[in-house]
Structure 1
Amino acid sequence: MDEQALLGLNPNASADYRERASAYFEQLKVSHDAWQVCAEALVQRIYSDDHVKFFCFQVLEHQIKFKHSELTALQQQLIRETLMSWLQSQMLNAQPEKTFIRNKAAQVFALVFVIEYHTKWPKFFFDILSVVGLNPRGVDLYLRILMAIDAEVVDRDVIHTAEEARRNTLLKDTMRERCIPNLVESWYQILQTYQHSNSELTCQCLEVIGAYVSWIDLTLIANDRFINMLLGHLSVEVLREEACDCLYEIVNKGMDPIDKTKLVESLCQVLQSAGFFSINQEEDVDFLARFSKLVNGMGQSLIISWSKLVKAGDMKSAQDTLQSIEMKVPLMLQLLVHEDDDISSNIIGFCYEYLHILKQLAMLSNQQKANVEAVMLAVIRKLTYDDEYNFENEGEDEAMFVEYRKQLKLLLDRLAQVSPELLLSSVRRVFNNTLQNWQTAPFMEVEVAIRLLYMLGEAIPASHGAHFCGDAAKASVLQDMMRTLVTSGVSAYNHTSVALEFFETVVRYEKFFAVEPIHIPNVLMAFLDHRGLRHASPKVRSRTAYLFSRFVKTLHKQMNAFVEDILRRIQDLLELSPHANGFQTLLTSDDQLFIYETAGVLIVNSDYPAHRKHILMRNLLSPLMEKFKILLEKLMLEQDEERQSVLADCLNHAVGFASRTSKAFSNKQTVKQCGCSEVYLDCLRTFLPALSCPVQKEILRGGVRTFLHRMIICLEEEVLPFIPTASEHMLKDCEAKDLHEFIPLINQITAKFKTQVSPFLQQVFMPLLHAIFEMLIRPAEENDQSAALDKQMLRRSYFAFLQTVSGSGMSEVIANQGPENVERVLFTVIQGAVEYPDPIAQKTCFIILSKLVELWGGKDGLVGFADFVYKHIVPACFLAPLKPSFDLADAQTVLALSECAVTMKTIYIKRGPECIQYLQQEYLPSLQVAPEIIQEFCQALQQPDAKVFKNYLKVFFQRAKP
């Protein structure tokens, strides 16, 4: 072997050496006999370096995995002999091999097993067992080989092909026939020999049993000698976790329901008599987490048995199984309330399914009702935060608790289905007791009390706010609790979690305030002062900004008396200021968006007359406009790039804030009706100069473009005078991406205003197209994926623009561009339909073509267009689908073909028999289409039902493609 190359296997070797070793490995992989050198090195123990030994096994592994079928019978035998010789040598080694080598060797054994067990090596296991006996080194390797076989043949996490799945089933069947009882006997011998002297081997053996028990005859394991031994292991600290997992796998095995119940019951009796059913809080939590998983498995197995028996109508056995389930509930509850969340979390599945059974029962016994109450109290207790939870800087532990809380919420929802009355009364009791003494209660108790009220909203759904009207029993409970929440003063509790929970709950039950509006002023003050938007915690301020906007939106009818007071109080929160010198405003710009929207909602939905709304909206937006002008001037003069970026961000926020206020308008409350048009026109006049700013173009243009989109919706035709100037600026010095983002604006104007914008479109049409064409032919780096994508998106936008123009009754805009320009446009559409392998663009091109044929393709259509139809459009309908890139198995391509069919159909409708004659006598014969197929094609085209032709065309091209 190349000794120099082998030096590169050492993790500390230099990059050059490592590269050489990697190249050497590739070289050995393709060599015919290099594996034999490696096999010899392993058997002769030529190398002592662990990395070289590992390397040799890798070469062997590659040979077996990818080239086994190329080997002669003698060579295959040599591999078997090599493995057995190596295994034998391990019994004699002074030191055992490193774990990573043993694992790799086990993988190689497993690969050979998978290929040769049926044919060449039926005695695989017997040969290995005869070599290893009960030698600890040999046993270790034997168990690793069994786990490697499990990974290859059984492991459900590995995705297998259908062929591999068949092979694996055959392997398991053959093993059941040939050797499983012998393997099970070997496991028993290993456990008996090593349970007191070698915990590592014992645990390995338990893992093997757990892995194999799912598909072997259960009676081989679920019998007195094995179970007693396993239960004995539960009392040995170093073995009990693995023993627990092994028992879990045994319990989880699919079985006849009555047999399963017997198995679980016998297991439980032994566990109970051994004292495992009384949980000691001081017990080792790692073990209890495994034990909890085992109890969960037993409980869920019994529930599955119960369901099967009920379904089969065997009510007596079902009743016996239900009794077994009920007997596990006290243990389940002990584990559910355990202070360690992992232990509690592992039992939630059993708990959830148990409640599902109770939900199905007609009547609950007193004991079952007590169980429901106990689960409820456990959930309430476990929902509570602990002292260590870090609210300002949440890490992994906090994330795990949030997930755990979600599981508890599912339990609470299930409790509500079993007994809504009990849940309501339990929550009410906890809630009232806590809120009476909130000043002295720890934060976690106050938070969970409010949290429970919040969770009731989903747990006990109320259609159309029935919590606060209609169903008096439910309404009164929730209504009382809400009244207590907003009058108790708990909103002043000084803890992040309580503040957040208070505002979340107030917004969830906003219908309460429609019923009792007297409480609105108090809650508004809580939102607006140090409890909400001015809270010490940025997290609370941010969330409150969003919740406040929701609160105002849903209750705007009740807000009229407070509009101006609220606007005055939020004035300072609306300030626009670039972040400088580390200065942080109270709210981030994202939070301010919600405040601006809220202000807009308050003004627009108030009962004020239009002139008053106009004044309030101007007062809201004027400071923004003034600041915008100042900052834009600063940006024009600023040299420092970082500072330019800060100023541009701030200007962009200003535009975004103004845009957001316009969201308050609706069809019932338009900008015009509210008297606010002039204010927004002023905003436009203020913002448009930013388009000609020579720096930070992308961000400024993006912001103004978004504002224009909003204004087209809000201001209607009043926005039109601004469009030409805006377009002119946006088309200057632009990139493909800018153009791609500008076109939707033109499309929006075209589709909305149609003929009103015809003069503007006439004017902008060719300059826009020239800019697009220039961008598309601009050379780019060969591997520049981003530039290629930008061009593809621009091409799609261009075709979308032509589609909008032709589809909005504006085809004269194209027709009036002069013959050579019209021709150029038409050729780009033909090109788009045929040449670019982009089905989305192709579909659009065919839509344009069919529209133009409809408009210009008749007898009195555009001069010269009929020629164009026959020379270019008809051929495009055939050439595009015949392209190799036109994949008829792709959904988007099928849509493109569907539009292609519409185009053909439209040509036939507009040109009649002349079209059929052209296809029959000229075009289709030129493609060498057989006469009978031509006949068939023309008949399908003449069918009145367009769908017939669409379906035919797909079949036609499927046949035509090579």
Structure 2
Amino acid sequence: MDEQALLGLSPNANASHRQRALVYFEQLKESPDAWQVCAEALVKNLYRDDHVKFFCFQVLEHQIKFRHGGLSAAQQQLIRETLMKWLQLQLMSTQPEKVFIRNKAAQVFALAFVTEYLTQWPKFFFDILTLIGLNPRGVEIYLRTLMAIDTEVVDSDILHSPEETRRNTLIKDTMREQCVPALVESWYQILQAYQHTNSELTCQCLEVVGTYVSWIDLTLIANERFVNLLLSHMSVEVLREEACDCLFEIVNKGMDPVDKTKLVESLCQVLQSAGFFNVEQEEDVDFLAKFSKLVNGMGQSLVVSWTKLVKVGDVDGAQETLQAVESKVPLALCLLAHEDDEISSNIVGFCYDYLHVLKQVSLLTDQQKTNVEAIMSAVIKKLTYDDEYNFENEGEDEAMFVEYRKQLKLLLDHLAQVSPELLLEAVRRVFTSTMHGWRAAPFMQVEVAVRLVYMLGEALPSPKGAHFSGDVAKASALQDMMRTLVSCGVSEYQHISVTLEFFETVVRYDKFFVVEPQHIPNVLMAFLDHRGLRHSSPKVRSRVAYLFSRFVKTLHKHMNAFIEDILNRIQNLLELSPPENGYPALLTSDDQLFVFEMAGVLIANSECTAERKRVLMRNLLTPLMERFQLLLAKLLQEQDEGRQAALADCLYHAVGFVSRTSKAFSNKQTVNQCGCSEVYRDCLETFVPALSCPVQRGALRSGVRTFLHRMIICLEDEVLPFVPAASEHMLKDCEAKDLQEFIPLINQITAKFKGQVSPFLQQVFMPLVQAIFEVLARPAEENDQTALLERQMLRRSYFAFVQVMACSGMNEVIANQGAENVERVLFTIIQGAVDIPDPVAQKTCFIILSKLVELWGGKDGLVGFPDFIYKHIVPACFLAPLKPTFDLSDAQTVLTLSEVALTLKMIHLKRGQEFIHYLQQEYLPSVQVAPEIAQELCQVLQQPDSKVIKNYIKAFFQQAKL
């Protein structure tokens, strides 16, 4: 072997040595017989370096995996001999190989097995077992090989080709016939031989048994001698976790329901006799986690058996299995209530399934009711936070508990389905006793008591949250609890978990305040003072801002008396926070958005006069406008880029806040009806000048443009005087992204106001088009994907703009741009339809062409347009689909082709026989279409049914592109 190249295998090798080793590896892989050097090195143990040994196995692995079919019979025999001689070497060696080498060896053995077992090496296992006997080194390699074979043949997580799947099925069938009994016997011998002397080997063997039991004959394992051996391992501390896993796999095996019940019951009997059910006395939580998984598996298996027996009508069998299920519940309850969450979590599945069974029972027995109550008690206990939970800085442990809580929440939902009355009573009992002494109770007790009330909202569902009507008992109990919650003073509790739960629950049951509105003032104060929006924790303040917005949206009709007080109290929370203040604001900009929206809702929906609403809205928004003007002036003077960005961000948020207040208005309560039009017009006057700011243009333009979109909806045609100036600013010094985002604004104005904006559109049309052309004409780097994508999106936006013009009755705007400009625009549409490989843009272009033919293609249409149809539109309809980039297997492209068909149909509608004659006599012959095909195409185009035309055109071009 190349000794110099082998130096590169060392982890400490330099880059050049590593590169040489890599090249050498490729040479050995590709050479028809050089790999034999590696085989010899392994058999003769020529190298002591572990990395060289690993390297040799890698070369062998490649031969078996990728070149086996090309090897001669002698070479295949050599590989088999190499593996067996290497294994023999291990039996005699005083020093075991490193784990990573043993793992790689096992993988190579497994690959040899998969490749040769069905053909050249049917005695694979016999040969290995004969060689190794019970030698611990050999046994260990054998067990690793079995696990590697499972990965290759059985593991369902690994994707296999259909051919590999067929091969693997055949391997398993052949193994069942020929060698599985011998394998099982070898496992028994290994387990028996090493259970007291070599725990590592015993655990490995138990893992193999658990892995293989899913597809071999269960009676080979589930028999008295084997199960007794496994159960004896349950009493050995170093073996019992693996023994538990093995029993779990046995229990999970699919089988006849009656047999499964017998198997589970016999296992349970032995486990119970051996004292394993006394989980309170077990201190080893790792073992209990495995044991709870086993109990869960047994319980779920019994439920599956019961379901099958009920389905086939076996009443006696079902009853017997149900008794077996019930007998496991006390043990499951002990595990569910265990202080370790993993142990508890592992049994939740069986508890779900048991409750699902009870849901199908018509009348619960006293014992079943007791079980349900016990599950409730366990869930309530386990929902409780522990002292170590870090609320301000949640890490992995906290995330795991949150996930575990979700499991418990689902269990609570199942309990509600089985017995809503019992659940309601249990929650009421816990809540009432806790609230009675909340001042002295630890936070986790108070939090879980409120949390349970919150959870009832989903566990006991009501249409549209109508928890306080309908079912009198439920409504009364919930009403009592909500009354206690908002009046007992618990909102003052000094822990953020309780505070958050209080507000979440208040908002979940906001309909309670419709029934008892007298509690609204107290809750409003909680939202507004140190408990809510002014809490010391930013996490609480942020969540409360959102929840307060929701609360007000639901209950604004009941808040008329408090509107001005609320607006006064929140005023200082709504100030813009420019960077120079030096201290953080109580609310973030995102939080302030919710508060502004809430303020807008209060004003818009109040019972005040329109004049009073105008005053309130002006009072709310004037500080923003004043601050905006001040900060904009500062921005224009500021030289530091960091401070410029901070100021621009502040200005952007100011526009966003005003925009958010406008969401409060509706068709019933318009801005105009509320007397607020003038205020928003003033805001527009304040914001539009920012569009001409030479620095931080991106943020400012984005904010003002979004506001204009909103005002088009809110102010209707009152916004129109602002549009020309805003457009002029936005078209100056623009980039592709600016234009792409500006065009939807023009489209919105065009679609909404149509003829009203015709003069403005006449004026802005060509400047906008020229700005687009100019940006698209700028050179761009070929590998600048962002720039290329922006150009593509701008091109699409441009075509969408022309489409809106053509389809909104604004085609005259295009027609009035002068012949040269009209022609220029039309040619860009033809270019987009034919030359640009973007099916989205092409489809839009053909929609435009079809519409323009409809508008201008008739006898009294645009002068010169019929000539344009024949010279450019008709050729485009044939040239575009024939382009190599026009992929007819792509769904979007097929939609484009449909628009091509509709364009041709529209030309026929407008030009009639003249068009058919042109196609038959001039165009189609010029592109070498056979006369009979041309005639057929013309006949189809005269059909009234568009679907027929679309299908024919698709077939026509599919044939043409062959």
TM-score by length of 1: 0.98
Between 401-410 and 712-721, the greater mean CA deviation after superposition: 712-721
Judge conservation of contact 1:901–1:950 (CA < 8 Å) in 2. Answer: yes
Q: Aligned-pair distance for 1:490?
A: 0.6
Aligned CA distance change for structure 1 residues 803 and 475 (closer, same or farther; 3 Å):
same
User: What's the secondary structure of 1:121's corresponding residue?
Assistant: coil
Aligned CA distance change for structure 1 residues 633 and 950 (closer, same or farther; 3 Å):
same
CA–CA distance in 2 between the matches of 1:4 and 1:695? 62
Between 393-402 and 642-651, the greater mean CA deviation after superposition: 642-651
Aligned CA distance change for structure 1 residues 41 and 827 (closer, same or farther; 3 Å):
farther
Q: Aligned-pair distance for 1:320?
A: 0.7
Match of 1:172 in 2: 172
Q: Aligned-pair distance for 1:144?
A: 0.7
Q: Aligned-pair distance for 1:638?
A: 1.1
Letter of the structure 2 residue corresponding to residue 7 of structure 1: L
User: What's the secondary structure of 2:169's corresponding residue?
Assistant: helix
The answer to whether residue 528 in structure 2 is matched with residue 523 in structure 1 is no
Match of 2:364 in 1: 364
The answer to whether residue 728 in structure 2 is matched with residue 719 in structure 1 is no
CA–CA distance in 2 between the matches of 1:873 and 1:463? 57
User: What's the secondary structure of 1:8's corresponding residue?
Assistant: helix
The answer to whether residue 871 in structure 2 is matched with residue 871 in structure 1 is yes
Match of 1:335 in 2: 335
Between 637-646 and 147-156, the greater mean CA deviation after superposition: 637-646
CA–CA distance in 2 between the matches of 1:37 and 1:766? 77
Match of 2:8 in 1: 8
Aligned CA distance change for structure 1 residues 178 and 472 (closer, same or farther; 3 Å):
same
CA–CA distance in 2 between the matches of 1:2 and 1:867? 78
User: What's the secondary structure of 1:280's corresponding residue?
Assistant: helix
Superposition pairs for residues 17-32 of structure 1, below 5 Å? 17-32=17-32
CA–CA distance in 1 between the matches of 2:930 and 2:307? 65
Between 376-385 and 768-777, the greater mean CA deviation after superposition: 768-777
CA–CA distance in 1 between the matches of 2:273 and 2:513? 58
CA–CA distance in 2 between the matches of 1:215 and 1:787? 56
Match of 1:809 in 2: 809
Deviations 1:433-452 (A, max 9, x none): 11111111111111111111
Q: Aligned-pair distance for 1:464?
A: 4.2
Uncovered stretches (5+) of structure 1, i.e. residues with no partner = none
Between 745-754 and 777-786, the greater mean CA deviation after superposition: 777-786
Letter of the structure 1 residue corresponding to residue 730 of structure 2: M
CA–CA distance in 2 between the matches of 1:804 and 1:552? 39
Q: Aligned-pair distance for 1:954?
A: 2.7
Deviations 1:665-714 (A, max 9, x none): 11111111111111111111111121121211111111111111111111
CA–CA distance in 2 between the matches of 1:608 and 1:19? 81
Q: Aligned-pair distance for 1:11?
A: 2.0
Match of 1:54 in 2: 54
CA–CA distance in 1 between the matches of 2:525 and 2:295? 51
Superposition pairs for residues 533-932 of structure 1, below 5 Å? 533-580=533-580, 583-932=583-932
User: What's the secondary structure of 2:944's corresponding residue?
Assistant: coil
Q: Aligned-pair distance for 1:282?
A: 4.7
Match of 2:156 in 1: 156
Q: Aligned-pair distance for 1:463?
A: 1.8
For these two proteins, the number of residue pairs brought into alignment is 962
Judge conservation of contact 2:747–2:801 (CA < 8 Å) in 1. Answer: yes
CA–CA distance in 1 between the matches of 2:318 and 2:882? 65
Deviations 1:111-135 (A, max 9, x none): 2221221112111111222222211
CA–CA distance in 1 between the matches of 2:283 and 2:889? 61
Aligned CA distance change for structure 1 residues 572 and 8 (closer, same or farther; 3 Å):
same
Q: Aligned-pair distance for 1:465?
A: 4.4
The answer to whether residue 472 in structure 2 is matched with residue 511 in structure 1 is no
Between 260-269 and 37-46, the greater mean CA deviation after superposition: 37-46
CA–CA distance in 2 between the matches of 1:29 and 1:717? 76
Judge conservation of contact 1:528–1:534 (CA < 8 Å) in 2. Answer: yes
CA–CA distance in 2 between the matches of 1:115 and 1:798? 60
Letter of the structure 2 residue corresponding to residue 713 of structure 1: I
Match of 1:124 in 2: 124
Letter of the structure 1 residue corresponding to residue 547 of structure 2: L
Match of 2:190 in 1: 190
Letter of the structure 2 residue corresponding to residue 251 of structure 1: V
Q: Aligned-pair distance for 1:2?
A: 3.1
Letter of the structure 2 residue corresponding to residue 179 of structure 1: C
Q: Aligned-pair distance for 1:581?
A: 6.9
Q: Aligned-pair distance for 1:580?
A: 4.3
Q: Aligned-pair distance for 1:931?
A: 4.2
CA–CA distance in 2 between the matches of 1:694 and 1:927? 54
Letter of the structure 2 residue corresponding to residue 618 of structure 1: R
CA–CA distance in 2 between the matches of 1:577 and 1:497? 28
Aligned CA distance change for structure 1 residues 713 and 245 (closer, same or farther; 3 Å):
same
Identity of counterpart residues, as a percentage?
79
CA–CA distance in 1 between the matches of 2:710 and 2:19? 58
CA–CA distance in 2 between the matches of 1:152 and 1:844? 51
Aligned CA distance change for structure 1 residues 269 and 582 (closer, same or farther; 3 Å):
farther
Letter of the structure 2 residue corresponding to residue 649 of structure 1: D
Letter of the structure 1 residue corresponding to residue 257 of structure 2: P
CA–CA distance in 2 between the matches of 1:561 and 1:801? 49
Aligned CA distance change for structure 1 residues 321 and 928 (closer, same or farther; 3 Å):
farther
Match of 2:440 in 1: 440
TM-score by length of 2: 0.98
CA–CA distance in 2 between the matches of 1:917 and 1:414? 74
Match of 2:956 in 1: 956
Judge conservation of contact 2:529–2:535 (CA < 8 Å) in 1. Answer: yes
Judge conservation of contact 1:468–1:511 (CA < 8 Å) in 2. Answer: yes
Deviations 1:645-680 (A, max 9, x none): 111111111111111111111111111111111111
Q: Aligned-pair distance for 1:639?
A: 1.2
Q: Aligned-pair distance for 1:168?
A: 1.1
Judge conservation of contact 1:281–1:338 (CA < 8 Å) in 2. Answer: no
Match of 2:473 in 1: 473
Judge conservation of contact 1:214–1:249 (CA < 8 Å) in 2. Answer: yes
Moved over 4 A (4+): none
Judge conservation of contact 1:648–1:696 (CA < 8 Å) in 2. Answer: yes
Judge conservation of contact 2:579–2:643 (CA < 8 Å) in 1. Answer: no
Between 745-754 and 894-903, the greater mean CA deviation after superposition: 894-903
Letter of the structure 2 residue corresponding to residue 780 of structure 1: A
Deviations 1:887-912 (A, max 9, x none): 33322222222222222221222222
Letter of the structure 2 residue corresponding to residue 825 of structure 1: V
CA–CA distance in 1 between the matches of 2:771 and 2:676? 36
User: What's the secondary structure of 1:501's corresponding residue?
Assistant: helix
CA–CA distance in 2 between the matches of 1:578 and 1:20? 60
Uncovered stretches (5+) of structure 2, i.e. residues with no partner = none
The answer to whether residue 231 in structure 2 is matched with residue 231 in structure 1 is yes
Between 936-945 and 161-170, the greater mean CA deviation after superposition: 936-945
CA–CA distance in 1 between the matches of 2:928 and 2:178? 65
Q: Aligned-pair distance for 1:20?
A: 3.4
Deviations 1:148-167 (A, max 9, x none): 11001111111222222111
Letter of the structure 1 residue corresponding to residue 796 of structure 2: R
Deviations 1:7-51 (A, max 9, x none): 222222233333333343334333333322222222222221111
Letter of the structure 1 residue corresponding to residue 674 of structure 2: C
Q: Aligned-pair distance for 1:843?
A: 1.6
Letter of the structure 2 residue corresponding to residue 335 of structure 1: L
Q: Aligned-pair distance for 1:882?
A: 2.7
The answer to whether residue 222 in structure 2 is matched with residue 216 in structure 1 is no
Between 729-738 and 96-105, the greater mean CA deviation after superposition: 729-738
Letter of the structure 2 residue corresponding to residue 489 of structure 1: G
Between 316-325 and 81-90, the greater mean CA deviation after superposition: 81-90
Between 232-241 and 883-892, the greater mean CA deviation after superposition: 883-892
User: What's the secondary structure of 1:847's corresponding residue?
Assistant: helix
Letter of the structure 2 residue corresponding to residue 129 of structure 1: L
Q: Aligned-pair distance for 1:932?
A: 4.2
The answer to whether residue 941 in structure 2 is matched with residue 941 in structure 1 is yes
CA–CA distance in 2 between the matches of 1:582 and 1:241? 58
Judge conservation of contact 2:466–2:511 (CA < 8 Å) in 1. Answer: no
CA–CA distance in 2 between the matches of 1:81 and 1:825? 78
Letter of the structure 1 residue corresponding to residue 262 of structure 2: K
Judge conservation of contact 2:755–2:810 (CA < 8 Å) in 1. Answer: yes
Between 751-760 and 865-874, the greater mean CA deviation after superposition: 865-874
CA RMSD of aligned residues (A): 1.5
Judge conservation of contact 2:332–2:347 (CA < 8 Å) in 1. Answer: yes
